[in-house]
Structure 1
Amino acid sequence: MHIATALLFTIGILGAADIFIFHTIKGRLTQRTECRKEVVIHVLRGFVYAAQFVVIPNYRLTGGWFWALALLFVVDVIIAVTDVWEEPKSRAKQGGLSSAEYLMHIVLSVLVGAMLREVIAQTWGDWSLPTAITERDTFNSISFVMAFGSATVAVCEALALLTSRPRPIHVRVRLDASVKEVWEFTQDHHRHPEWDHRFSHIEMLEEVIKTGTLMKYTKRIGPFLICGMGRYKLHRLMKQSTFEFWSDQRLSLIRRGVGLWLYKELPDGRCEFSTSYTYEVRWGFVGRIIDLAFRPLFQKYTEASFRRLAREHFAAPDATVLGVAGRLPERFA
């Protein structure tokens, strides 16, 4: 494994330079909300590299353990492909990747391919041997230092994500209906769960909806029933509803949040309906980790609700629903 180890160490050194120069100094990826997905990918890759630094130079995995090694490389390939897929969207506001970073990625890809070929050549047939983890004759302590460094960078990037302010959720749609029609339908709390996937039931605690009105809401997720409360902070007829919401239920990831609905009349008489909201999570550090995956899903969930609203209630199956780019909502052309 001497050649594979040398290639791995070279990849590690160049990868560290890539992170420091292009991700941290120039790109400031952990500080840009539009780059959050890319940073999550980099965090996962950091832990995969840490495992490779420990295993490849120091241990031979045979029998059943061979497939664990194969899985490690499969995960590495999936992460690499996902990173390539995400980068154009993540770096769009920065004008894409620089020529120098492209060159770095090409060199790293060639080295990774060469290392993978060498590992396959050295381990081919090991699945047929007895299941065991055997220490190699030349134990390499430097690899553990590099593994520690890779894992440390991944942890630091993860902490930067968890302590940064998450981006709000923005969704908007243009409907072939008047503001009055959209307002009356979307403000009907009895029919709200028909189109909004986020709620199973809404109950107003006052007959007239106005600033200060309280409501109860529930959402059933499998066998679990999530309960919460909401209050209208500002209610301007056919213009805007601003609200706050919270849940005292420990089962709920969302502790409290704020949001608004906006109704805008377009020059042709149609209505542009939009929402923006954000929230705080409970469960401390664990909750913030879960929210890294939950918030993008909630963004998509809300977009799906707006598509459902347009398709099923305003006869607009092809309506364009816009989401979010960075911290700002996307704009209609």
Structure 2
Amino acid sequence: MATASLLLAVISLLGAFDIAYFHWYRCRLADRAESRFEGWLHVARGFIYALQLALVPNVQLHGAFYAGFVALFVADIGVAMADVAVEPTSRRSQGGLPGGEYLMHIVLSVLVGAYLHAIALDSLAWRHLPAAVVYAPAGVPGWLRGLLGLMGAGAALVAMVEGLALVERRLPRPVPIHVRVRLRTTVERLWEVTQDHRLHPSWDHRFSRIFMLGEVIQTGTAMRYEKDLLGLTIRGGGRYKLHRPCQQSTFEFWSEDPRSLIRSGVGLWLYRPAADGAVEFSTSYTYEVRWGALGRWIDRAVFRPLFQRETERSFRRLAERYFPEGASGVAGARGRKPARLIDGGCLVS
């Protein structure tokens, strides 16, 4: 299997370039609804190649097991034919396959033909042997078997990531984070405390430091923020989109730091006097993440629930530290939303 294994290594390297450059970078297939079926075909082919990369340099399937070996390559050919059939529809809005990808597919087709021929020459005799699965790496250099093993793990990982991306794109968008608290104070006092950027990190531990880039906070004022996390300092910026004293602050925020999961977002603070003399302080915010499908899954599973909890804890800390005379508790989980302002707002539940 030395020749077949070497051809498989070349095919896998070219296939990895095809996926990374054309599927992900040039055509962004995972983001296109019309390319979803093609994406699932690529997921299937990724797992098929992961099996081939594990079996071809290491294992012989004799007798009845040989049918399973043949079925693996029949499945590969079937997926490849289906891929060719759906590509005209999948790529129509992009003007068809890029010229470089078309050339890449021709080269890969020739190499796959040579690979299947080498596989047939080396394996046909197995069907006449007693049924057995035999570990037989003889003839394939150790370095090549190691390389193919790494490629197989990579192919399975890429297929899993592509599958998760396709599933994630069908899920509803994550809901914004909502939190509110009712405090025994005046609107003016609450505004004074919460709008002081020097006090802000003392009760809102989502931030370690906030720096205002202007002497007066008003619509258009910019800020910088820092968050210390696990020995790192994550930096970002923000801007007040609408600032109405004692009523509302609408702001946008972002981070150009590649270590930050959050790419950009928008948030809203509302201050509403209540009939019983208390004040309701509420926030709603949401954001977009980086790191592609992996980032979106991390956000859904870990980050957004953590932010919901930490925002609730921050509001509780605000009440206990600065308004100990009484609060009616923090609400926000399970869809208990603060009131939404249409004027100047941009948050949608």
Relative to the length of structure 1, the TM-score reads 0.50
Residue type matched to 2:332 in 1? G
Shift of the alpha carbon at 1:207? 0.3
SS in 2 for 1:276: strand
Deviation by residue 1:121-151 (Cα, 9 ceiling, x = unmatched): xxxxxxxxxxxxxx9xxxxxxxxxxxxxxxx
Q: 1:295 aligns with which of 282, 287, 304?
A: 304
Shift of the alpha carbon at 1:160? 4.2
Aligned length, in residue pairs? 179
Q: Is the 8 A contact 2:218 2:240 kept in 1?
A: yes
State yes or no: 1:242 paired with 2:253.
no
Q: Is the 8 A contact 2:227 2:234 kept in 1?
A: yes
SS in 1 for 2:185: coil
Q: Is the 8 A contact 1:307 1:319 kept in 2?
A: no
**Structure 1 pair 330/269, CA: closer, same or farther in 2 (3 Å)?**
closer
Q: Which residue of 2 aligns with 1:325?
A: 334
SS in 1 for 2:275: coil
**Structure 1 pair 207/283, CA: closer, same or farther in 2 (3 Å)?**
same
Q: Where do 5+ consecutive residues of structure 1 fail to align? A: 1-134, 136-151
Q: Which residue of 2 aligns with 1:72?
A: none
Q: Where do 5+ consecutive residues of structure 2 fail to align? A: 1-132, 134-159, 340-349
> Following the alignment from structure 2 to structure 1, what is the Cα–Cα distance between the partners of residues 326 and 230?
28
State yes or no: 1:305 paired with 2:314.
yes
Identity of aligned residues (%): 57
State yes or no: 1:272 paired with 2:280.
yes
Q: Is the 8 A contact 1:201 1:219 kept in 2?
A: yes
Q: Is the 8 A contact 1:162 1:288 kept in 2?
A: no
Relative to the length of structure 2, the TM-score reads 0.48
Please provide the CA RMSD for this pair. Answer: 2.4
Residue type matched to 1:187 in 2? Q
**Structure 1 pair 213/189, CA: closer, same or farther in 2 (3 Å)?**
same
User: Which structure has the bigger radius of gyration?
Assistant: 2
**Structure 1 pair 247/196, CA: closer, same or farther in 2 (3 Å)?**
same
Shift of the alpha carbon at 1:237? 0.9
**Structure 1 pair 289/197, CA: closer, same or farther in 2 (3 Å)?**
same
| Structure 1 segments of 4+ aligned residues over 3 angstroms from their partners | 155-158, 160-163, 316-319
> Following the alignment from structure 2 to structure 1, what is the Cα–Cα distance between the partners of residues 250 and 237?
14
Shift of the alpha carbon at 1:197? 1.1
**Structure 1 pair 270/158, CA: closer, same or farther in 2 (3 Å)?**
farther
> Following the alignment from structure 2 to structure 1, what is the Cα–Cα distance between the partners of residues 327 and 188?
22
